[in-house]
């Protein structure tokens, strides 16, 4: 899907914003799409590296069917090569280097129902890397009244988003930092702002539920300027009720020399988010911290209490605060997306980062 054939048996992939032009026999940046004699093949279709039943809070999604279980699938490969990757064993390898389990779309849906999960998430690595598989699964999942979730670095193209848009309910997107230099250093990506356009499009064109994650890495993206930039962008483009998770970095992969994020730094990020006007800012990877809980932005009462992945709903009436009736942008049973009618969406993301 989403590729074109060019002269001399070249192919042009439009699944993500790299928009790779691939020579015969070669792979794209993600190393999971290969040009074989002028035809682009997806190597990892239906091959899972990781399959698990998770709490939805693990994604993290705090305002989307809280307390539900989600059938979670990941494959191999990524279009980013982040120096702090938490899942580098599956993201930064070639096809064939890991044992994989074949999970057809029909089996994924059957397993979701069998394990009494409320929906399916494509997670652990970038979902767009097996876009066609997620598309087939998501279509089938919606036929069975399951919710569907992308946990994504946000680098898919607008046309990929539009292709899967009507079948995808939640978009848990990273905004990893807010400067060209940072994205270049962390993920080796220069033109990253298309991530913002596509996230806004997911909300405004497709009415997806959106939550944003920023993993705060000491000395890399913990400065006030970037954190303020992210918070202000979320407020202005996704809305002040969009949850923002600021999570604790732990030394990983090629960043073993940087210590874990001090909790005080995360609290600073929390305060920056609140000062910018965001109603829901959460601290991640700090179990037991008060910043894991959901308080009503209107009356201040606690409505969801969390300890790690233990979730207790203590003050909700549907998506509203039980005490004062404020709308808390929490999607629960009965929620339906509104994807009818014309909506203002940002321009398409910039084209052609790579050949």
Report the SS3 class of residue 103: coil
201 binds ligand SF4 (CB under 6 A): no
Nearer Cβ to ligand SF4, position 29 or 345? 29
Q: How far apart are CA 158 and CA 160, in angstroms?
A: 5
- SS3 category, 216: strand
Structure tokens at 51: 């399959």
Q: Looking at 16, 203, 286, 296, which residue binds ligand SF4 (CB under 6 A)? A: 16
Q: Residue 252 in contact with residue 85, Cβ under 8 Å?
A: yes
**Closer Cβ to ligand SF4, 9 or 111, answer by number:** 9
| Cis status of the peptide bond prior to 60, with omega within 30 of 0 | yes
Window of 24-32, 85-93, 94-102, 264-272 that interacts with ligand SF4 by CB under 6 A: 24-32
Q: Are 242 and 210 in contact (CB under 8 A)?
A: yes
**By CB under 6 A, residue 125 contacts ligand SF4:** no
Q: What is residue 300's three-state secondary structure?
A: coil
Residue from 6, 8, 20, 277 in contact with ligand SF4 (CB under 6 A)? 20
Q: Taking CB under 6 A as the rule, does residue 30 contact ligand SF4?
A: yes
Report in angstroms how near the CB of residue 114 gets to ligand SF4 at its nearest: 31
Of residues 1, 5, 29, 150, which one binds ligand SF4 by CB under 6 A? 29
Toward ligand SF4, which CB reaches closer, 18 or 192? 18
Show the tokens assigned to 35.
Answer: 């040009």
User: How many C-beta neighbours within 10 Å does residue 166 have?
Assistant: 12
Query: Which window, 8-16, 178-186, 286-294, 343-351, contacts ligand SF4 (CB under 6 A)?
Result: 8-16
Which of 241, 243, 244 minimizes the C-alpha distance to 227?
A: 244
Determine which residue in the list 79, 148, 261, 285 makes contact with ligand SF4, applying CB under 6 A.
Answer: 79
Q: Which residues bind ligand SF4 (CB under 6 A)?
A: 13, 15-16, 18-20, 28-30, 33, 79, 128
């Amino acid at each position: 899907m989403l590729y074109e054939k060019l002269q001399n048996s070249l192919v042009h992939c439009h699944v993500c914003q790299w928009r790779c032009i691939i020579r015969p026999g070669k792979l794209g940046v993600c190393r999971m799409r290969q040009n074989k004699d002028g035809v682009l093949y997806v190597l990892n279709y239906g091959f899972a590296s990781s399959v698990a039943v998770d709490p939805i809070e693990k994604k993290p999604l705090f305002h989307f069917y809280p307390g539900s279980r989600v059938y979670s699938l990941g494959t191999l490969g990524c279009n980013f090569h982040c120096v702090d990757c938490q899942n580098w064993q599956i993201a930064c390898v070639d096809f064939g280097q890991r044992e994989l389990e074949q999970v057809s779309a029909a089996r994924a849906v059957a397993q979701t129902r069998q394990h009494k999960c409320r929906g399916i998430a494509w997670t652990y690595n970038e979902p767009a890397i097996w876009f066609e598989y997620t598309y087939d699964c998501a279509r089938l999942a919606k036929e069975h009244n399951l919710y569907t979730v992308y946990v994504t670095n946000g680098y898919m193209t607008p046309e990929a988003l539009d292709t899967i848009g009507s079948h995808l309910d939640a978009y848990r997107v990273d905004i990893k930092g807010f400067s060209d230099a940072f994205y270049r250093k962390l993920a080796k990506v220069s033109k990253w702002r298309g991530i913002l356009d596509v996230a806004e499009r997911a909300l405004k064109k497709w009415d997806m539920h959106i939550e944003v994650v920023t993993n705060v890495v000491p000395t890399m993206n913990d400065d006030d300027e970037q954190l303020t930039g992210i918070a202000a962008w979320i407020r202005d483009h996704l809305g002040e009720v969009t949850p923002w998770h600021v999570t604790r970095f732990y030394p990983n992969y090629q960043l073993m020399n940087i210590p874990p994020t001090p909790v005080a730094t995360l609290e600073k990020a929390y305060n920056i988010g609140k000062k910018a006007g965001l109603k829901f800012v959460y601290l991640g990877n700090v179990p037991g911290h008060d910043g894991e809980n959901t308080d009503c932005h209107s009356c201040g009462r606690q409505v969801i209490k969390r300890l790690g992945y233990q979730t207790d709903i203590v003050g909700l009436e549907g998506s509203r605060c039980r005490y004062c009736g404020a709308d808390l942008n929490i999607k629960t049973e009965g929620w339906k997306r509104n994807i009818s009618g014309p909506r203002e969406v940002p321009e398409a993301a910039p084209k052609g980062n790579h050949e």
